[in-house]
Structure 1
Amino acid sequence: MNIIIIGCGKVGATLVEQLSAENHNIVIIDIQESKLEAISSTYDVMTLAGNGASFNVQQEAGVRNADLLIAVTGSDELNLLCCVIAKKSGHCNTIARVRNSLYSKEISFIKRQLGISMIINPELTTAMEIAKILRFPSAIKIDTFAKGRAELLKFKLKPEFGLGNMTVQDISDRLKCNILVCGVERGDDVFIPNGNFVLRDNDSVSIMASPKDTAEFFRKIGVVSHRVKTALIIGGGKVGYYLAAQLLDMGIRVRIIELDRARCEQLSELLPKANVICGDGTDQSLLMEEGLPYAQSVISLTGFDEENLLLSLFAMKHSSAKVVAKVNHIAFNDIIGGLDIGSVIYPKYLTANKIIKYVRGAQNSMGSNVETLYKILNNQAEALEFSIRQESAITQTPLMDLNLKSDLLICCINRNGNIIIPRGQDYILPGDTVMVVTTQKGLRDINDILK
């Protein structure tokens, strides 16, 4: 596809990294030449210095022949204007990043009236991701499929579970739970396991199942799977506001610690059911006074990654809470992963993944379509959901007889709302949606799973 990206910030750079790896033709526009030079020295993309809302700049970037324009500058209004100009001059599909909470209530109107294909709010997306984890605090990460009927859940395999040194097949036979182990992270290594794969204590294990079967699995290994009842949010910015609103709707008691007094007053008006404390969230004595040792969840959402990580380590030491940290800039994923601080959320990856899912879907064949896409296993693998539209080489054939690519697992079939954790004798039918986990990058069609 011919793709124009306007804005070379965190999200723009992440999009270039991931979309260039899928061999798209990319032009990136930004007013800061230094950012463009850094991108062009690393990736094989065209760069253009200028205002992306300029008709002439878009023409120079090739908007007339573009399939997609993505506007991810720091200004909502500029992003919307870029998309409107692109629609009028190039007739391409458009995606805009819009962060203002006021606009979030008017998304459907804006899309319809301005003809924008997709609008993304990174802060709202981040808050929804965190709320999803707090519903099931034993998980490090949860990705949902089949409209919530199936989920891919990652957790740390602790010694007290008694599953270490057992094979995947042994676990299935012993627990008799309808789950499928479909990914394992061990240090820097990532595995798509078969039945003979041996798990070890402290592995990060990803399982696929329905929410009901997931809860049964955790009950059998002695893990509490109930959602949290209290949340201590450190940082009252956009993510903090969106998250608090969702948690309050879920019946969870919320405390927010925010340093800026004017923002505290604003949050008190917007969230009358929340307890808003004006203070420094990095003050250890304040955290202890405000009940950190007794909190069931602690979410660090300050504007500084280092603070969020250190606050999470402090919370792990002084409480048994579910801990979540937001990280915007820091690129040392392997080091952060080794800190064992619960769940780490990267807004730029969440935003980029949504856009990449859209791009894959736009490239689909007539036979199937990418409905859902997540980067998983430390971004070294993908979990995709394909909608099967018609008969093909993969339908009506037992899975055991399909010549699948290596490091690929068909882990779930949704058939008319019934979730099937497949075995060798199961098969795929038109009308199904099929979940696949693989380290093979760039799958666009269900037939791509075959050798």
Structure 2
Amino acid sequence: MNIIIVGAGKVGITIGEQLSSENHNITIIDLNQKKVEEAEEKFDVMGVVGNGASYQVQMEAGVMDAELLIAVTGADELNLLCCLIAKKAGKCQTIARVRNPIYSKEVNFIKRQMGLSVVINPELAAAQEISKLLRLPYAKKVDTFARGRVEMVKFRMHPELHMDGLKVADILSKMKCDVMICGVERLKERKVVIPNGDFILRDGDLVSMMAVPRETAKFFKKMGIPTHQVKSTLIVGGGMIAFYLAKQLLEMRVDVRIIEQNKERCEMLSEELPDATILQGDGTDKEFLLEEGLAHTESLVALTNMDEENLMLALLARKYSEAKLVAKVNRIHFEEVIDDLDIDSIIYPKNLAAEHIVRYTRAMQNSLGSNVETLYKVMDGAAEALEFVIREESHVTNRTLRELSLKDNLLVCYISRFGKLKMARGQDMLKVGDSVIVVTTHKGLNDITDILKY
């Protein structure tokens, strides 16, 4: 597809990189010539220097031939104007980044009146991701499917679980829970596996497991891991993610304390979040953190504007607290180093936005009427978890999974039919109307038929 991205910031570049790797034709527009040149050099994209809200600039970028325009500048209103002009000039589909909480309750109205295809809010998505992690504090990552009825939970194998050397099939039969282990990251060997029943797990493995929430809780309870959500949290940094997160946690009846240095921001947060405790101070000051309850809080979320600061804060907290630790990272690309740190969960807001847009572009491309409803990059981007809705008959329908020639390193996990969820087995068939959840190391699946070898 021909896609135009307006805005060459962190989110815009991440989206451009992802879509370019999926063989789309990308043009990036930005006022900053240096950013445009860097994008052209680093990725296989075209660049246009100028104001993305200008009709002439959009024409130069090829809006007449574009199928999609994505506006992700730092200004909500500019993004909406870019999309409006693109709709009038080129009749392409449009996606706008809208971050301001003022607009959050008006998203459906804005989409309807301006003809937007999608509205994305990376900060809100990050807050939702963190709130899921604080609901399931034993998880390093939680992804949801089937409108929240199925979850994919990533956790680390620790020696105290006494599961080192056991086969996947043995663990599942021992626990007697309806769960599916669908991915294993072996960090020492830098490899990712979609395991079968004979695969042997080792301490230190990162295991991705899929189940309905009830079975997830049952599984971890049998393993002796606490399954209750956190009751308190200390948030360092009072930016947009902190605001959205605090609102969600307060609704979950979590005690929320936010540390922010800027006085004006503290006053705004106090007005907007009357049930939260807002503390003005330096969140990197160890003594201040200890005074404000670091040793007793059940979770710490580091959301400052500096990646290094967030990581160091989480590591500091590990020395003084048993809290669930979450750190936000925007710029650093040393995932293999970060994975080795003793930090429970890392959140990458820009990646969440990119996933959302990639999911939409995959759905636009579907060829046989099976839309990509949900898509997550999982296992540090080495695999994908997708949810397809089958809308037409094809080579995969009305035959048992055992009869299908499925690709290697691909697992059909769940089937939803008429609202009823079922863990996929070899004798099951896929039918029109089904929602199907798949995990695979193969990238770029657009259609349910892509699960086949040929």
Q: TM-score normalised by the shorter chain: which range applies?
A: over 0.9
Correspondence list, 1:70-219, <5 A: 70-187=70-187, 188-219=190-221
Deviations 1:251-271 (A, max 9, x none): 111111111111111111111
User: Which residue matches 1:384?
Assistant: 386
Contact 2:368 2:394 in 1 (8 A): no
Shift of 1:364: 1.4
Contact 1:367 1:392 in 2 (8 A): no
Measure, in 2, the Cα distance between the counterparts of 1:419 and 1:294.
Answer: 40
Which of 258, 270, 295 is the equivalent residue of 2:297? 295
Q: Aligned with 1:401: secondary structure? A: coil
Q: Which one-letter code corresponds to 2:115 in the other structure?
A: G
Measure, in 1, the Cα distance between the counterparts of 2:262 and 2:451.
Answer: 52
TM-score (ref. length: structure 1): 0.98
Measure, in 2, the Cα distance between the counterparts of 1:32 and 1:189.
Answer: 39
**Segments of 4+ in structure 1 off by > 6 A?**
none
Q: Which one-letter code corresponds to 1:183 in the other structure?
A: G
User: Which residue matches 2:245?
Assistant: 243
Shift of 1:123: 0.9
User: Which residue matches 2:412?
Assistant: 410
Shift of 1:416: 2.4
User: Which residue matches 1:278?
Assistant: 280
Q: Aligned with 2:12: secondary structure? A: helix
Q: Which one-letter code corresponds to 2:21 in the other structure?
A: A
User: Which residue matches 2:57?
Assistant: 57
Q: Aligned with 1:207: secondary structure? A: strand
Measure, in 1, the Cα distance between the counterparts of 2:334 and 2:406.
Answer: 34
Can you give the 5+ residue segments of structure 1 that lack an aligned partner in the other structure?
none
| CA root-mean-square deviation | 1.0
Which of 445, 448, 453 is the equivalent residue of 1:446? 448
Q: Aligned with 1:241: secondary structure? A: helix
Contact 1:185 1:191 in 2 (8 A): yes
Measure, in 1, the Cα distance between the counterparts of 2:253 and 2:83.
Answer: 38
Shift of 1:178: 0.6
Q: Aligned with 1:354: secondary structure? A: helix
Deviations 1:38-84 (A, max 9, x none): 22122222111111111011111111111000011111111111100
Measure, in 2, the Cα distance between the counterparts of 1:200 and 1:338.
Answer: 16
Most deviating of 52-61 and 27-36: 27-36
Most deviating of 45-54 and 33-42: 33-42
Most deviating of 62-71 and 365-374: 365-374
Q: Which one-letter code corresponds to 1:156 in the other structure?
A: R
Shift of 1:105: 2.0
User: Which residue matches 1:437?
Assistant: 439
Shift of 1:338: 1.0
Q: Which one-letter code corresponds to 1:349 in the other structure?
A: N
Q: Which one-letter code corresponds to 1:441 in the other structure?
A: K
Contact 2:95 2:117 in 1 (8 A): yes
Measure, in 1, the Cα distance between the counterparts of 2:135 and 2:417.
Answer: 26
Q: Which one-letter code corresponds to 2:347 in the other structure?
A: I
Deviations 1:303-350 (A, max 9, x none): 111110011001112111111001111111111111120100000000
Most deviating of 425-434 and 130-139: 425-434
State whether structure 2 residue 265 is matched by structure 1 residue 263: yes
Shift of 1:367: 2.8
Q: Aligned with 2:170: secondary structure? A: helix
Can you give the 5+ residue segments of structure 2 that lack an aligned partner in the other structure?
none
Measure, in 1, the Cα distance between the counterparts of 2:183 and 2:367.
Answer: 28
Measure, in 2, the Cα distance between the counterparts of 1:366 and 1:348.
Answer: 31
Q: Aligned with 1:293: secondary structure? A: coil
Contact 2:368 2:447 in 1 (8 A): no
State whether structure 2 residue 39 is matched by structure 1 residue 39: yes
Q: Aligned with 2:42: secondary structure? A: coil
Measure, in 2, the Cα distance between the counterparts of 1:291 and 1:120.
Answer: 35
Measure, in 2, the Cα distance between the counterparts of 1:229 and 1:73.
Answer: 36
Contact 1:149 1:417 in 2 (8 A): no
Contact 2:310 2:327 in 1 (8 A): yes
Fraction of identical pairs, as percent: 58
TM-score (ref. length: structure 2): 0.98
Shift of 1:90: 0.4
Contact 2:266 2:278 in 1 (8 A): yes
Contact 2:318 2:342 in 1 (8 A): no
State whether structure 2 residue 338 is matched by structure 1 residue 340: no
Shift of 1:153: 0.5
Deviations 1:64-119 (A, max 9, x none): 11100001111111111110000000000000111111111211111111111111
Measure, in 1, the Cα distance between the counterparts of 2:253 and 2:283.
Answer: 24
Measure, in 2, the Cα distance between the counterparts of 1:400 and 1:343.
Answer: 37
